Amino acid sequence: MKELKEGAIVNGAAVVQSEANLYAAEVTLPDLKRSIRETENALSVLIGSAAGAINRSTLDQQTAYSNLQTGVSAQLLQNRPDVQAAEFAFRAAFENTNVAKTYFYPALTLTASGGLSSLQLKDFFSQSIFYNLVGGLTQPIFAKGQNKARLKTAQAQQQMAFYSFQQTLLTSGQEVSNALYAYQTATEKETTRAKQIAALTKAVDFTEELLRYSSATNYTDVLTSEQSLLAAQLSGVSDKLQKLQAVVNLYRALGGGWK
């Protein structure tokens, strides 16, 4: 821009605007570096090492899975810890219901000391299995109300556990669906975003050429086209990040993978 000013193609205002545009980009670098360092320190803590820089490739070199458009099996939801916990809670509640039902039956205990061969006639009704049988049969009758209450409570808890299990499955399925759809939309935007960036790159080149060799434009047009290109490039980075994050979210939503 200074050379163009010396050639009497632009004025001093264009030079000042270009300098301000440069400084506006440079002033964002310290915050970006700080954000990078904080992220690296957080990752170092997660892997159990001292805070420091982490060697990595560029974002363009990161490749996401390309075979997720068709979906994943719903059976993979069983890998999630919350789904497993809800399933086991439902199983426990189901078995507790069965236990509550057993209280309606008499408890009979047969022992060697209670056999008929070891009984005297006078002890026949006091120590024999017939005496235990009579007592066992009458016990559920007297505790009928308590048994019914116990059974109803167990059945209610079983139903609650079933609804909790069902809700956990629905929630986990929603998270998987959201991750898959986020991946799909990010993939769909890639082609259109690439065309947009290519068109804006040509627009910047054209306006710069016009500014150098003719008076058909001014630096404001160049600045506008450059800002539009920068915004599109940043959006392209966000699209790539959305795609990578969708894969991570899908991995987490499936409880640690899709195999």
Residue 201 has pLDDT above 70, yes or no: yes
Percentage of residues in the chain with pLDDT exceeding 90? 27
**Per-residue 3-state assignment (H helix, E strand, C coil) for the chain:** CHHHHHCCCCCHHHHHHHHHHHHHHHCCHHHHHHHHHHHHHHHHHHCCCCCCCCCCCCHHHCCCCCCCCCCCCHHHHHHCHHHHHHHHHHHHHHHHHHHHHHCCCCCCCCCHHHCHHHCCHHHHHHHCHHHHHHHHHHHHHHCHHHHHHHHHHHHHHHHHHHHHHHHHHHHHHHHHHHHHHHHHHHHHHHHHHHHHHHHHHHHHHHHHHHHHHCCCCCHHHHHHHHHHHHHHHHHHHHHHHHHHHHHHHHHHHCCCCCC
Q: Express each pLDDT in 117-130 by its tens digit.
A: 444 445 544 554 44
Q: Express each pLDDT in 116-175 by its tens digit.
A: 444 444 554 455 444 444 444 455 555 667 888 888 899 999 999 999 999 998 898 898
Q: Express each pLDDT in 60-100 by its tens digit.
A: 787 777 666 555 677 778 888 888 899 999 999 999 998 88
Q: Express each pLDDT in 26-64 by its tens digit.
A: 999 999 999 999 999 999 999 898 888 888 888 878 777
Q: The whole model's pTM is what?
A: 0.64
pLDDT at residue 45 in the model: 92
212 and 240 in contact (C-beta within 8 Å)? Answer: no
Average pLDDT over residues 166-195: 89
Residue 259 has pLDDT above 70, yes or no: no
Average pLDDT over residues 222-241: 91
